[in-house]
Amino acid sequence: MDPPEPAAPDAASTNWDPLVAALPPPTSGCLRRLGHELSGLRTEPLPGIQVAPDEEIATMVHALIEGPEGTPYEGGLFHFILLATPNYPHEPPLARFMTTGQQQVRFNPQFYTSGKVCLSILNTWPGPGWNPSFSFRVVLLQLQALMNSCPALNEPGVMMMSNPEEYNSFLRHETLRVAVLGNLEMAEETLRDEGSAPEPGAPLPPVVRPSAALPVEPWRDPTADLGLEEVQTKAGAKDWWILEFWTSKK
């Protein structure tokens, strides 16, 4: 059973969604500011966060956040899309969380299965709002901060499952299933489709599809007590990257 998901205050609206929002062309000031910020993120990258501009949309940015150590997200890669609105930075960017297991996994009280990110500086949640002095760097740091050791307490008044540790157990399982094995399987398919063999240590592309290797059982990790050979059978681990991941964790 998945954790309960309260409706967002504007759940029927999609004006928060960078993939569907109808926006006018960006101003020249927006493009200059965003170019300056991306240059800064390249020269002074954020620890645990990889950023890349979209190949087709000039104002769209992809971010891959590594699950912080010591949290239930550890080991996972989480994909976000940010879109600078036409009058950015005088209005906040739009944001969408992409690693949702086909809109089935609530990875955080403030990351909805629809992909909506509830954050006050994005004007999608009550609290201190956007300030033109803020930047994509500030937004990314806030997103990373939400992926903490006790995310069940991120949203006041809303308890995910019966207690925080129960929710953490759910997150650890789904991080392995969706944000680790799902990413690795999609990378394998992508590389196979392109006809190129992976090199050990090569970066993995951001993906959103969950792995079918592990069952959707949020209450326990079905691989916790297994050895490497049993994990190979259960997860279909036939290629170097899944084997490398598992042996590094054992």
Enzyme catalytic residues? 118
For residue 174 the two structure tokens come to 């789904």
Given the structure tokens 């394998």, which residue do they identify?
188
Exposure string for 15-39, b = 16+ CB within 10 A, e = fewer: ebbbeeeeeeebeeebbebbeebee
* Cβ neighbours, 10 Å, residue 82: 24
Nearest to 77 by CA among 53, 98, 104, 55: 98
Distance CA 120, CA 242 (A): 38
What are the two backbone dihedrals, phi and then psi, of residue 79, each rounded to the nearest 5 degrees?
-100, 130
Distance CA 98, CA 15 (A): 16
